[in-house]
Structure 1
Amino acid sequence: MTCPYAIDPTGKDVHGEAAMLRERGHATLVELPGGVPAWAITGHALIKRLLTDPRVSRDSYQHWPAWENGEGELAKTWQLAIWVADRNMMTAYGKEHTRLRKLVVKAFTARSTALMRPRVEEITNDLLDAMAAEGRDGGQVDLRASFAYALPTQVISELLGIPMELRPKLLELVHGIFDTTLSPEAAEANVTAVYDTMARLLELKRADPGDDLTTRLITVREGGDGLTERELVDTLLLLFTAGHETTVNLLDHAVFALLTQPDQLKLVREGEASWDDVIDEALRWQAPLVNMPLRFAVEDIELDEVTIPKGDAILIGFGSAGRDPLVHGDDADSFDITRATRRDHLAFGHGVHFCPGQALGRLEAAVALSALFERFPHLALAKPADDLLPIESFISNGHRELPVVLGTPVPA
């Protein structure tokens, strides 16, 4: 057996790394930051298979002996501990997952999402107005910060009823969760600050309830249905984090792709492709979350070439699946909104953990992209594409900044 490959915590070449891992086998041993071993799953078909296999769990407390029920050395010193320590639907298994998921899915039904469209459009137009003012007279605008980041963070903050006073700090701390270059000490300090801030959120919402999802979950918690305080906090943290990070990176990469490949944008403008095509191909080409830690083998899992032993950790490579040439062909690394397999991606997950908020993310992206390119038809990158740096993470996939010049806008 080959030695485990050490995952690059900086994420400077996540797709090159994924291609190399696929060459080693669609299930291959890797070493995560902190020296933690895991099986990297990189093939599209195998990922789909394992994500629907009841022998694969996300519950570290039940199914990862190395976690020692959250009382061992990993829980105390591992810089990625928060990815397996929290207690919400994302890390639950079986009946516990069903119980926790039921608490939030009603907020993300097709009807609920459709009702949010007018507010998403309003926020989008306000942000475009602000960008127009910021980029007046040819000035540069960081589109990631001013638009791709600002839109979904405001939408999810309003849905959860997060007070304005807490939003900047909470966003900063969530960025720290995704920064996989942090030292164990820095990561521990960040997690402590996260939970202090979440405690403050609950304190404020209990004192001043509102018509929002946080208040409704507090009501469920205090109604005695078995939702623990930790589950309440971690569910809210999950909703806030997942409710913006995926859409931020989706918008970032979709805009980048269209600005660097104007022939693709031309297809949309001429009615030969849709914004939905852009969204799906962007999700395939640049999965917003390229790797997702962690899952665990409930029992030995025999695959074609290897056996994943019971209790071993599993890292799912969603970004690798999107570039799998067995599904998407030899040109899988290219962006093509007419690609026949553009919808055959796993960017929102698969199986019981399929993202319940994916419809909201798609709505935000469709509204945002359409309005952005209508308002700023001459939008262009302000720096060479090769000069743009990735964020420092092997989990989250986006640019640190996306500098643009707006050109002459169309009047609102």
Structure 2
Amino acid sequence: MDPAGGCPHADNARLLAGGAVAPVVLPGGIEGMVVLGHEELREFLSHPDVAKDARHFAALAEGRVPDGWPLRTFATVPGMTTADGADHRRLRALVGGAFTARRVEELRPRVEAVTAGLLDGLAGAAAAGDGVADLRRHYALPLPLGVICELLGVDPAHQERLHRLSSLVVATDTEPARSVAAHQELVELLASVVAARAAAPGDDLTSALVAAQGEDGDRLSGPELIGTLLLLIVAGHETTLNLVTNAVRALCAHRDQLALVTEGRAGWADVVEETLRWDSPVSYFPFRYPTRDLALGGVLVPRGTPVLAGYSAAGRDPRSHGADADRFDITRTPAAKHLSLGHGPHYCLGAPLARMEAAIALEALFTRFPDLDTAVPEDELVRHAGFVGNSVRALPVRPGRPAA
């Protein structure tokens, strides 16, 4: 795997041509595997003999994974993404109520209000930049980051720092010393957030988690509380940030598809779902470990192997999505539902919120700026750092004249 990342789709097509499951070399020479095929990934994500707990990670147990390994946080952070069985259900139940369809729908007016303000900011940035503004920085980022921080009761003053540290922690090309320092700084920042909410509880999720910890220490340990906040902040904004960015890129490159929505022949939810399939915001997600030698797609996956979930590859697997799987088509009738938000017990808890935020953001953007277009050719956009997230680092756009 190239630690610097890049567009995954050409590599995915090449790997898929050789099979649905492939061996890979992770940073530091750690041997792993990636599941690329849609059906194989669907089976793997819900397989009873596949675990998330890093005690099953053979190389880690053998001491071959250093502290500064860029993917170590994914493997070892205490929380839902590294828990199995009863522990996973316990941790998920503590936060699940905040992300039900009903609770998310109650957030709609707030998301719409934040979006309207950000559109004003995007227009101002474009006016100050000869008609060009970075849509990722001024629009796609502050919406989900602001919403998740508000849900958690995090001071808005921390948002820029949280994003910077999150980006370093999830990047696969971060130097070891910098990775360790970023992780430590992020943990310390989240600990200060917990202390602030403990001293002055509010109507927010962090206060509820602190209260749950106080009621019964067996429900949530201190490291689990910090790990849960880390997960919610990182996953709660990075995925939607990439989703909105990728959807805007796709619509600008496929004006016929944009016309289908603006003319009422398709919906913004269709855009969101097709973007999730066609250009998944997460490309290769770490890690799951077989608890026994496992045959998958005709390939042996040895016990204890760190396995990546190849969401971007599965989304364009022609065996499941048809011979035209490479084509962006918001009207397609899916033969198989995409897996970009996961499958099985670890299905993305924030999926309803991500879908709503993205649909609102896209509709508001193209309603306000119907002629919006990218200001840089697609092949000149700089890709996301690392092979986990799948997007570009900046998206310069020309909003054009606002609608009357």
| TM-score greater than 0.5 by the shorter chain | yes
Report SS of the residue matched to 1:339.
Answer: coil
1:198 — aligned with what? 190
2:316 — aligned with what? 323
- Aligned ranges for residues 255-294 of structure 1 at < 5 Å? 255-294=248-287
1:369 — aligned with what? 362
- Does structure 1 retain, via aligned residues, the 8 Å contact 2:51–2:288? yes
- Does structure 2 retain, via aligned residues, the 8 Å contact 1:57–1:295? yes
2:24 — aligned with what? 30
Report SS of the residue matched to 1:104.
Answer: helix
Do structure 1's residue 52 and structure 2's residue 43 form an aligned pair?
A: no
> How far did 1:407 drift?
0.9
Do structure 1's residue 113 and structure 2's residue 104 form an aligned pair?
A: yes
> How far did 1:343 drift?
6.9
1:159 — aligned with what? 151
After the TM superposition, which of the residue ranges 228-237 and 164-173 deviates more from structure 2?
164-173
Deviations 1:363-401 (A, max 9, x none): 101111111111011111111222112111100011111
Report SS of the residue matched to 1:390.
Answer: coil
Unaligned segments of structure 2, at least 5 residues: none
Report SS of the residue matched to 2:329.
Answer: coil
What is the count of residue pairs matched by the alignment? 402
2:37 — aligned with what? 43
Do structure 1's residue 249 and structure 2's residue 246 form an aligned pair?
A: no
- Does structure 1 retain, via aligned residues, the 8 Å contact 2:40–2:297? no
Deviations 1:313-358 (A, max 9, x none): 2111011100101012222222111122287211100000001110
Do structure 1's residue 360 and structure 2's residue 353 form an aligned pair?
A: yes
- Aligned ranges for residues 10-409 of structure 1 at < 5 Å? 10-61=4-55, 63-68=56-61, 72-136=63-127, 138-226=130-218, 227-341=220-334, 344-409=337-402
After the TM superposition, which of the residue ranges 339-348 and 172-181 deviates more from structure 2?
339-348
Report SS of the residue matched to 2:23.
Answer: strand
Unaligned segments of structure 1, at least 5 residues: 1-6
* Structure 1 pair 225–249 and aligned structure 2 pair: CA distance change class (3 A): same
Letter in 2 for 1:176: L
- Does structure 2 retain, via aligned residues, the 8 Å contact 1:280–1:342? no
Letter in 1 for 2:189: T
- Does structure 2 retain, via aligned residues, the 8 Å contact 1:87–1:234? yes
Report SS of the residue matched to 2:28.
Answer: coil
Report SS of the residue matched to 1:162.
Answer: coil
> How far did 1:168 drift?
1.6
> How far did 1:233 drift?
0.3
Report SS of the residue matched to 1:294.
Answer: strand
After the TM superposition, which of the residue ranges 164-173 and 244-253 deviates more from structure 2?
164-173
- Does structure 1 retain, via aligned residues, the 8 Å contact 2:287–2:308? yes
- Between the aligned partners of 1:78 and 1:127, the Cα distance in structure 2 is 37
What is the TM-score of this pair, normalised by structure 2? 0.96
- Between the aligned partners of 2:174 and 2:3, the Cα distance in structure 1 is 9
Deviations 1:76-124 (A, max 9, x none): 2422110101111111011111111111110001110010000000000
Report SS of the residue matched to 2:102.
Answer: helix
Report SS of the residue matched to 2:65.
Answer: helix
- Does structure 1 retain, via aligned residues, the 8 Å contact 2:7–2:390? no
- Does structure 2 retain, via aligned residues, the 8 Å contact 1:88–1:235? yes
- Between the aligned partners of 1:344 and 1:93, the Cα distance in structure 2 is 25
Do structure 1's residue 410 and structure 2's residue 395 form an aligned pair?
A: no
- Between the aligned partners of 1:377 and 1:245, the Cα distance in structure 2 is 26
- Between the aligned partners of 2:336 and 2:42, the Cα distance in structure 1 is 14
- Between the aligned partners of 1:140 and 1:21, the Cα distance in structure 2 is 38
1:3 — aligned with what? none
Q: 4+ residue stretches of structure 1 with deviation over 3 A?
A: none
Deviations 1:246-297 (A, max 9, x none): 1111100111111111101011111111111100000001111111111001
Letter in 1 for 2:169: I
- Between the aligned partners of 2:7 and 2:235, the Cα distance in structure 1 is 23
* Structure 1 pair 390–357 and aligned structure 2 pair: CA distance change class (3 A): same
Deviations 1:15-72 (A, max 9, x none): 11212221232122111111111111110000001111110001012x1232229xx3
> How far did 1:304 drift?
4.8
- Between the aligned partners of 2:250 and 2:296, the Cα distance in structure 1 is 36
After the TM superposition, which of the residue ranges 35-44 and 333-342 deviates more from structure 2?
333-342
What is the TM-score of this pair, normalised by structure 1? 0.94
